[in-house]
Amino acid sequence: MKTRLLCLLALLLLWTAMVRASAGVQGSQAGNRSALPSLAGCQKNCGNLSFDYPFGIGAGCFRLPQRDFELICNNTHGASQQPRLFLHDGITEVVNDIRPGDTSGIDVSFSQSVSVRPEVDAYNISWNPGRSLSIDGVLLNFTGCDFNMYVLQHDINKMVGQCSSTCPDEDITDTMARQDCNGTGCCTAVGYSEFGVGLDIKFVRHKIGKRKFQAQSNRSSIWDTINVVTSHQAYISWAIAVDEPGTDYACLSNHSSGRFDSSNVTYVCYCDRGYRGNPYITNGCSRDKGYHPIQRKTNCSRWCGEISVPFPFGLEDGCSARMSFQLNCTNSSLSTLQFLDGFDDTEYSSNYVQYINISGGLVNVKYNIYEAESLSVHVFQDPGLYVASGGVVLQQWAVANLTCHEAQQNKSGYACVSMNSICLSVNSEQEYIGYRCKCSAGFDGNPYIADDCNDVDECKTPGTCYGICHNTEGGHYCTECPSDTVYDTTIKMCTSAKKQNLVLGIAIGISVGFGILLLISIIILFVRRCKKGIKKKLRRKHFRQNQGLLLEQLVSSDENASDNTKIFSLSELEKATNNFDPTRIVGRGGHGMVYKGILSDQRVVAIKKYKVIEQVEISQFINEVAVLSQVNHRNIVKLFGCCLETEVPLLVYDFIPNGSLFGILHATTTSGLVLSWDNCLKIAAEAAGALYYLHSAASVSIFHRDVKSTNILLDGNYTAKVSDFGASRLVPIDQTHVITNIQGTFGYLDPEYYHTGMLNEKSDVYSFGVVLVELLLRKKPIFTSDSGLTQNLSNYFLWEMREKPLAEIVATQVLEEATNEEINDVANLAQTCLQLRGEEGPTMKEVEMKLQYVRSKRLRSCQVVVRNEDMQPLLSGQSQDTLPMLTTPSGIADSVNIASQRNQNCYSLEQELMASATLPR
């Protein structure tokens, strides 16, 4: 579970980083590029950490008006220790350089403790680094005994993480607890906040803990201190607030621009493409100056095992011409050579350099992850100088993102230092990458090293001339054979041979030549074919291995925890399904079969068996596991685990007995199952709630991408369970859309998404609108009308709604059971969902609220009063512990009350609450 959490967090961070690096909304220049007060004399370092404006230490050195960008360098930790750098709050420690031009993120660590007193059961730590900062994603380790920890966003009291720690063994020490941090004396929870919000961390003592605490004294410090530290990497982002009164536009440099967030609340500055540096200071952005033609170090090693590493590449600091060309010879006996790639997490990407070609400007890189097709080397802090070439791992490279003209202006930085070298441009399909060097024609060598381009003696190659060859600097010329000799093509020299010989020689020469040519082409063809086959096999093998690794991280194999996703053995599943007996098949999806199975512990499960092991399918499978292991919601089908032993992956779910909404709505025979209007409303509201949860409740948004009535399953009580996450995408919460391949099902596909490929939450809203229309009209999404026309239900509905009164459109059963007002409400809601321009349509939250409203009106006769006591067990997950925090007016109770107000109706209120209080895991 923890590995899973960590892994997903890492993925999320990686994603955020990549998203950050990609282009966003370009803001127009919002103000006056006034001059900055001189920053001369401002401190730029604290210990071994460096930083730059807008951050700074001391008056005039950081950006006003808030002090968010002020840093504190604390030297008073003792002479032996490095000074430590803190943000303005004095408690958030900066642990890495702050590079305003490269990223708007800071690596930080946070650590606080409070001492525990017997008479106090609730404690509070707040972490609010400042108005211009947001806590992006952190794991908080908390040590203490018999406490629940809740991580809430400050002010809005939105709970984002929670965990619980108990100490069954009274002799436990702090160090012991920290070791595993598994709930025994220590536990881990997620935290993140929006801009300027910060986190409140609350601790509430368990009831049992209280007894124990009073009974004992004089134990290890873990009993009387609560400690919170950030685990591993913690990341804070900063940005400039737009509405800040009296501030100037922050992007001061020429060739810089601001990029606004989706709601125009903040922006960050970037140097324009092709420029690098600090956009927040005057003239901070400049053209690429990263290339240093002089090798600073002598005695540089130039081999990694059998791979040659010529300048401008190098294996050590000072041996290469720039950061992008520094390689790491991780194992010289195996010739393992790697780039210091921007992906510093080797689990996600490892590249292996096979060879470097100077004259062709090529480098051959093999990647160890399955998306190799689209990867190119990118070294953090350097411009992208490598061109990924589609399906091939051969990459072109450039030495600097300058035009040849620009490069030649600055002689001291010009890379083509050898005499007889020329400058060439390197382009990718999309853009200009930079320049590289090459020895001029007739010369050979390394153009990046002074005087290394040497003349090629063409005359050494036999057959250059039909006569006598004369080499010159950079070329050659030919003269005829001396008078009494002729050129003999077999020995490629001038000889005094007889004419007959010559004719014969030519004849033999030509036929032998042709023969050899034929042979060679056959061999080449054969070798190519062989190579292709081997490559394919190897790739497949690697591919599977890697997937397996990734999966094992995602899925904890911890069998103790019953609610954890589990890895099942094949024999277990074979037994459960009677060797995948065809009679056990309960469904056939686009991706595979679904079997009903009974596990040894009598649990009834649905086992999804993927059809073929195509790359796409595998990623869908991984995707489904990743998504489902992240969510825990009453109306989302529960994933018990998966099986990795088979060639085709298997997924094990909770079995949902009543089939899909589609099956019931469009049953051809009357199976006895009839959906009442009450159940329709219930299913719609629940499914909407589940989608809303996916869109917003987890730390990443999850877009389902394949919402349809087939994917809404129903259990015995007509409780909706949203399923099939094969197409879903995790999207960072501040990201409004991603561009993807079109996926989905015809009839449900949002036309806007279909046309633009821009996936956003409204695509799910659209598809859900189609489901609502299905419920109202009881027609299939693509149906044949009375006149024999095949029609798209959403178009039909929108059209008919304009033409006719609703009563003539909706199904007779609906007309009989529902009131006019309800039909109106639901139809209007469906209509807004189907709006062509998604941004005008409602969010899933609005849809859910509207449906809940319709339901609660219908059920008005049986309102219930929400009492706090009803909620506590649901929130704590502990049996009957009281949570003092909940009874206070501020605190979690607030958010629960808000949730309950809109959910007030008479069926299963508790479960509704549980659903709205369920946290991302």
Q: Which residue of the chain is nearest ligand NAG when measured via CB? A: 274
**Residue 67 found at the interface with ligand NAG (CB under 6 A):** no
Phi-psi group of 381: left, alpha or beta (phi > 0 → left; psi -120 to 50 → alpha; rest → beta): left
Alpha carbon distance 268, 733 (integer Å): 18
Q: Which stretch binds ligand NAG (CB under 6 A): 259-267, 355-363, 366-374, 895-903?
A: 259-267
673 contacts ligand NAG (rule: CB under 6 A)? no
269: which 2 tokens? 């500055």
The answer to whether 766 and 841 have CB atoms below 8 angstroms apart is yes
Per CB under 6 A, does 274 bind ligand NAG?
yes
CA geometry: angle 84, 111, 77, nearest 5 deg: 30
Least gap, CB of 303 to ligand NAG (angstroms): 16
The distance of closest approach from Cβ of residue 109 to ligand NAG in the complex, given in angstroms and rounded to an integer, is 8
Torsion, CA 391, CA 397, CA 402, CA 404, rounded to 10: -110
Q: Which of 706, 724, 750, 764 is catalytic?
A: 706
Report the residue number, 303 or 432, with the smaller CB distance to ligand NAG: 432
Q: Which of 412, 358, 5 is nearest to 189 (CA)?
A: 5
If the CB atoms of residues 400 and 770 are measured against ligand NAG, the closer one turns out to be: 400
Nearer to ligand NAG, 139 or 875 (CB): 139
3-state secondary structure 743-765: CCCCCCCCHHHHHHCEEEHHHHH
Compare residues 166 and 872 and give the one whose CB is closer to ligand NAG: 166
Q: Which is nearer to ligand NAG, 76 or 217 (CB)?
A: 76
Cβ count within 10 A of residue 882: 18
Q: By CB under 6 A, name the one of 26, 175, 221, 264 that touches ligand NAG.
A: 264
> Residue 900 corresponds to which tokens in the numbers above?
């309950």
Find all residues with CB under 8 Å of 373, minimum gap 6, and list them.
390, 391
> Which residues partner with 728 through β-bridges?
none
How big, in percent rounded to 5, are the helix, strand and coil portions of the chain?
A: 30, 25, 45
Counting residues that bind ligand NAG (by CB under 6 A) gives: 36
d(CA 609, CA 596): 11
Considering the complex, what minimum distance in angstroms separates the CB of residue 229 from ligand NAG?
5
Per the rule left: phi > 0, alpha: psi between -120 and 50, beta: everything else, 483 is alpha
Q: Which stretch binds ligand NAG (CB under 6 A): 152-160, 178-186, 200-208, 458-466?
A: 178-186
Residue with tokens 């990046």: 448
User: Cβ closer to ligand NAG: 175 or 901?
Assistant: 175
HEC per residue, 477-532: EEECCCCCCEEECCCCEEECCCHHHHHHHHHHHHHHHHHHHHHHHHHHHHHHHHHH
| Angle (CA) 232 237 239, round 5° | 170
Asked if residue 738 binds ligand NAG (CB under 6 A), the reply is: no
Q: Which is nearer to ligand NAG, 166 or 660 (CB)?
A: 166
Residue of the chain from 117, 211, 273, 296 that contacts ligand NAG (CB under 6 A): 273
Q: How far is the CB of 14 from ligand NAG (least distance, A)?
A: 18
Question: Residue 802, exposed/middle/buried by CB under 10 A (0-12, 13-18, 19+)?
Answer: exposed
Here's the x/- map for ligand NAG, 112-151, by CB under 6 A: it reads as -----------------------------x----------
Residue with tokens 């190579």: 531
Compute the radius of gyration of the chain from its Cα atoms: 34
**Cβ closest to ligand NAG, residue 77 vs residue 860:** 77
| Helices 909-917/677-692 angle, 10° precision | 20
What kind and span of H or E run contains 350? none
Measured CA angle at 362 (ends 360, 368), to 5 deg: 160
Residue ranges in 607-636 that form contacts with ligand NAG under rule CB under 6 A: none
Q: Does 740 bind ligand NAG (CB under 6 A)?
A: no
Which member of 176, 419, 733, 782 binds ligand NAG (CB under 6 A)? 176
Q: What's the closest the beta carbon of residue 400 comes to ligand NAG, in angstroms?
A: 9
231 lines the binding site for ligand NAG (CB under 6 A): yes
* Cα–Cα separations (whole angstroms), residue 121 to 198, 242, 619, 884: 23, 41, 47, 8
Closer CB to ligand NAG, 667 or 738, in the complex: 738
* Contact flag: residue 188 with ligand NAG (CB under 6 A): yes
Q: Which of 18, 29, 77, 334 binds ligand NAG (CB under 6 A)?
A: 77
Say whether 654 is catalytic: no
Contact with ligand NAG (CB under 6 A): which of 340, 497, 586, 782? Answer: 340
Binding to ligand NAG by residue 298, rule CB under 6 A? no
Q: Rounded to the nearest whole angstrom, what is the least distance from the CB of residue 168 to ligand NAG in the complex?
A: 9
729 contact partners, CB below 8 Å, separation of at least 6: 623, 702, 703, 705, 738, 740, 759
Contact 42, 56 (CB under 8 A): yes
DSSP state of 88: T
Of the ranges 257-265, 297-305, 518-526, 739-747, which one interacts with ligand NAG (CB under 6 A)? 257-265
Least distance (Å) between residue 606 CB and ligand NAG: 29
Is residue 878 close enough to count as binding ligand NAG by CB under 6 A? no
Q: Which is nearer to ligand NAG, 6 or 648 (CB)?
A: 6
Q: Which of residues 12-31 bind ligand NAG (CB under 6 A)?
A: 27-28
Q: Is 247 in the site for ligand NAG (CB under 6 A)?
A: no
Q: Is 557 in the site for ligand NAG (CB under 6 A)?
A: no
Q: Which stretch binds ligand NAG (CB under 6 A): 70-78, 352-360, 628-636, 903-911?
A: 70-78
Least distance to ligand NAG from the beta carbon of 213, Å?
21
Angstrom CA distances, 765 to 609, 638, 758, 798, 836, stand at 29, 22, 14, 16, 11
User: At 888, is the secondary structure helix, strand, or coil?
Assistant: coil
**349 sits near ligand NAG (criterion: CB under 6 A):** no
Which residue among 22, 23, 32, 803 contacts ligand NAG (CB under 6 A)? 32
Q: Pick from 233, 254, 282, 330 the residue near ligand NAG by CB under 6 A.
A: 330
Of the residues 142, 203, 260, 595, which one makes contact with ligand NAG according to CB under 6 A:
260
**Residue 74 binds ligand NAG (CB under 6 A):** yes
Do 642 and 567 form a contact (C-beta atoms < 8 A)?
Answer: yes
Using the minimum distance from each CB to ligand NAG, give the nearer residue, 324 or 745.
324
Q: Residues 864, 911: contact at Cβ < 8 Å?
A: no
* Window of 426-434, 654-662, 824-832, 838-846 that interacts with ligand NAG by CB under 6 A: 426-434
Among 178, 542, 575, 666, binds ligand NAG (CB under 6 A): 178
Which H or E run contains 905? none
Whole-angstrom distance, CA of residue 61 vs CA of residue 219: 48
Nearer to ligand NAG, 34 or 545 (CB): 34
Give the separation between CA 583 and CA 451, rounded to whole angstroms. 78
User: CB under 6 A: which stretch of 69-77, 122-130, 215-223, 517-525 binds ligand NAG?
Assistant: 69-77
Min. distance of Cβ 250 from ligand NAG in angstroms? 14
Q: How far is the CB of 63 from ligand NAG (least distance, A)?
A: 17
- Three-state DSSP at 596 gives strand
Question: Would you say 609 is a known binding-site residue?
Answer: yes
Alpha carbons 2 and 921: distance in angstroms, whole number:
10
- Pick from 621, 729, 548, 843: which is nearest to 12 by CA? 729
> Pairing relation of β-strands 639-643 and 566-567?
parallel
Return the active site residues: 706
Annotated binding site for ATP: which residue ranges?
609
Q: What are the residues binding ligand NAG (CB under 6 A)? A: 2, 27-28, 32, 34, 72, 74, 76-77, 90, 141, 176, 178-184, 188, 229, 231, 260, 263-264, 273-274, 328, 330, 340, 383-384, 401, 431-433
Annotated binding site: which residue ranges?
609
